[in-house]
Amino acid sequence: MTNKKIVSPGEQLGSCEEFIAGKNTFTDKDDIYAAAVGEQESFGRMIQVNNKKMFVLITEGMEVYCIVRELTGTKAFVSCIPILKDNERSFPDFEAVLPVSSIRHGYVENIRDEVRIGDILKAKVTKIERQDIDVSISEQGYGVIKAFCSRCRNIMIINGNNLNCNKCNRIENRKLPYGYNKPKDQGDRYGSKYSKFR
């Protein structure tokens, strides 16, 4: 297998002189074109498009992991990666905004009691307008899933409704996904997925 190039429908893959048209291709005159989005593959003279790994587009409602890059009084700037199913192809990171109004139901007095720079969030895409993408963590199941102590950068442990640093004993608040209960799956289970952000 060679040429792991991504092609889209209508893209010319080669000529019938060079290649034999394989899966997900069509021929027109003497040329072979892609009939699907996928990876161009060739086996000997056979050329085809492998579309088993589906491309995901950013859509409203898509679930993402985000890292908080910057904070202002009214919004957080986050970098996101979609939470993908097994057959989906990885997607480049994209930048989004988490408005303070999408952090929790109700009034937020201080955004820094909800999210902080470096926190990892599970969020949902709520708005796409041209290049502007908004995410939300206000619903149950969304929020900060990994937080680092703002004093010593240790990973904080969820304790009731707060986060504790067991290194320097600092206590901080965040918008957590599961209300007051410590989620069963809290821990390093997600570690590998965030590693690209470190």
Binding residues for Zn ion (CB under 5 A): 149, 151-152, 154, 165, 167-168, 170
Query: How far is Cα 63 from Cα 54, in angstroms, rounded to an integer?
Result: 16
Q: Which of 110, 106, 98, 114 is nearest to 73 (CA)?
A: 110
Which of 134, 172 has the CB closer to Zn ion?
172
Q: Do 14 and 20 form a contact (C-beta atoms < 8 A)?
A: no
CB of 148 to Zn ion, least distance (A): 8
Q: How far is the CB of 158 from Zn ion (least distance, A)?
A: 14
Tokens representing 148? 């680092």
**Nearest distance, CB of residue 155 and Zn ion, angstroms:** 9
Q: For the purposes of burial, counting CB atoms within 10 Å of the CB of 40, is it exposed (0-12), middle (13-18) or buried (19 or more)?
A: buried
Alpha carbon distances (Å) from 184 to 40, 120, 147: 42, 17, 16
Q: How far is the CB of 168 from Zn ion (least distance, A)?
A: 3
Number of other residues whose CB lies within 10 A of the CB of residue 109? 7
From CA 2, how far away is CA 88, in angstroms rounded?
21
Residue closer to Zn ion (CB basis): 147 or 149: 149
Residue 46 or 171: the one with the smaller Cβ distance to Zn ion is 171
In 3D, which of 103, 98, 13 has the Cα closest to residue 5? 13
Our CB check for Zn ion shows the closer of 50 and 150 to be 150
**Nearest approach, Cβ of residue 146 and Zn ion (Å):** 14
Residue 110 CB, nearest distance to Zn ion (Å)? 19
Torsion over CA of 30, 35, 39 and 44, rounded to 10 degrees? -40
